[in-house]
Amino acid sequence: MRASGIFMPIFSLPSKYGIGTLGKEAYTFADFLCKSGQSYWQILPLNPTDEGGSPYRSFSAMAGNPYLIDLTILCDNGLLTFAECEAKDFGDDPTAVDYGKLDNNRYRLLRSAFERFDTETPEFLNFCHSERAWLDDYALFMVLKDSYSGKPWREWHNDIKFRKPAALRRIKNDNVRKIEFYKFLQFEFFSQWFALKTYANGRGIRIVGDIPIYVSDDSVDVWCNTKLFDLDENLCPRVIAGCPPDAYSADGQLWGMPVYNWEYMKTEKKPYSWWRARISHALKIYDTVRIDHFRGLESYYCIKYGSKNAKKGKWRKGPGLELFEYFQKDYGKNKKLPIIAEDLGYLTPEVRKLLEDTGLPGMKVLQFAFDPSGKSDYLPHNHIRNCVVYTGTHDNDTVMGWVSSADPREVAYARRYMHVDDNEGFNWAMIRTAMMSVADTCIIMMADFMGLDSSARINTPSTVGCNWKWRIDGSCINDWLAGIIRENTAMYGRLGDNDRISKKKNK
C-alpha cells in the first residue's frame, strides 16, 4: 500500500516550557498528520539523551526521556502548579532547546511532582513489576550516577563497578526513595507516551521509531551486561565502534561506543537475548522500528580503544541473518517484521544480500541522488517498491540548506532532473519527486514542507554543541499547510487508509 508520513522529533514540537513534550501540542500534531492525509509519524529515539541532547548517546536503551514528560499534564493531575512551572527559566528562544537551563530547572519540577505522588497506587506498582527486567537496574544506575556527580560507571568504587552483590544490596537499601524517583519518571513518561500513541493510532497514524545499533559506553546496558561487549578484564573496551575514512571524513569517525561480543551472545541459553528483548520492547512502544546503521549487523568497523582517529580500523562479521530469524520467531512467523533498515552509505554485496534475505525495506535519500554522472541508486527511476524514500533525514541539511551548500553540479543536475520551477520552490520539487517514487512509503521532513533553511537542521554529524535543538513555530502547524500536503499526497496515491479514517474523524 502506498503511503506517506512526516518526520518530526518530539523535542521539536512547540511548548511553553523549553522543549517539545508528550502533551497537547503532540496531540495537535497528530491531528495535523491526519488532516494532511499522512499514515506515519517518524520520530527520533525516545531514550534519555546526553548533555548535548543526542538521543543516540543514552544511559539506557530501554528507558524514556524525562525531558519529554509534559508538565501541563502533571499540573492537571495535581502534581505541580502552573505557578511553579512559570517561575522556571527554560530559555528565551522558542525556536531552540536550551539544554543547560532545561537540565537545571526541569528536574527540580519533576522532583516536586514526585514528592506529591502516591507510590502505592496500583498503576505505579503494576508498571514497576511489569518493567522490572530493565527498570530496576536503570533506576539504580541513575541514583549511582547522581551519587558520583555524573562520573562514568568505570570510575565508581570497584565493588559497584564490578557489581558485587553485597555492595548493590547496600546501595538499594540506603536509597529506596531515590530509586523510586527514577521509576516514577519512567512511569510518567510511558503513561503519557502510550496515551499519545493510542490517540495517534486512532487517527490512522502509525509511529515510526528509531533504535541506534550501538549503546553508550556509559550506560546501564554495558554496566549490567559486560559479557555482551568486547571488554578487557578491567571492563574497558578493547575496540570501539566507528566509520572508516571516506569522501566526507579523511580521518573517519570515532563513535566511542563498545562493540558487541556477538560470539558470546550467540552461545547464550537464549541466543541474542539482550537484542531480542530490545527489539520486543521497541515494537511495543513503536508501530515500526528503524534500525540505525543496519550494515553493522552484517559486518562492522572497529578501532583500537584510545586511537586518535579511525584510519587503522578493522572489519568484523556481525550476526547477519540469524539475528533477524530470531526476531521473526519472537514476533510471529507469519507476520512481516515492521522494521526499516537504515542501509545508507557504502554497501557491499554481502550487505545487499542481507537486506534481500530479511525482506526489510531500505532507505533512499534524495539528497544523495544527484551525482552528475546519473548513476546513483538513490535516483527515483532506480527505486523499488520495498523501500522508504526521504527528502533527507535528521543527519541531512534541509532541502533549502542543501541547495545553498551542495556541490553546484549536483544542484544543477537536480534542477534538471526534477524540472524545478522557481515559483514552486526547490523544496516542493523534491517533495513532489519523492511522492512520485514507486517506493511504497515516503517520509518528508517537516522543515522541508515549510521551506526552511539550515537553521532548521537537526544534526550535523561529527559536530557537538549545535545539534538536537531546532523547534517549530506552533503557527506553522495549521489547516492551510495540511490542505496543501493532503492535496499532494492524494495526487500521488499515498492517502492509503488515511482517506477513510480522516473523513470519519473530521466530520
| Cβ proximity of 430 and 418 under 8 Å | yes
Catalytic residue status for 137: no
Catalytic residue among 292, 343, 397, 440: 292
Distance between CA atoms of 82 and 255, rounded to whole angstroms?
41
Q: How many helices (H) and strands (E) does the chain have?
A: 20, 12
Amino acid at position 179, single letter: I
Query: Distances from the Cα of 294 to the Cαs of 146, 175, 221, 290, 346, in angstroms?
Result: 34, 40, 20, 9, 12
Residues 6+ apart with CB under 8 A from 132: none
| Cβ proximity of 28 and 64 under 8 Å | no
Neighbouring-strand partners of residue 363: 388
Distance between CA atoms of 336 and 324, rounded to whole angstroms?
12
Q: Element (H or E) spanning 365, and its range?
A: strand 362-365
The neighbour count for residue 339, using CB atoms within 10 Å, is: 23
The neighbour count for residue 400, using CB atoms within 10 Å, is: 21
Catalytic residue status for 350: no
Angle at the Cα of 424 (from 421 to 425), degrees rounded to 5?
Answer: 85
Catalytic residue among 84, 377, 395, 453: 395
Catalytic residue status for 232: no
CA 207 to chain centre: 11
Amino acid at position 146, single letter: D
Catalytic residue among 25, 210, 342, 343: 342
Q: Which residue has the cell 499514515?
A: 39
Q: Element (H or E) spanning 483, and its range?
A: helix 479-491
Helix residue ranges, H only, 165-251: 165-174, 176-202, 220-224
Q: Which residues are catalytic?
A: 292, 342, 395
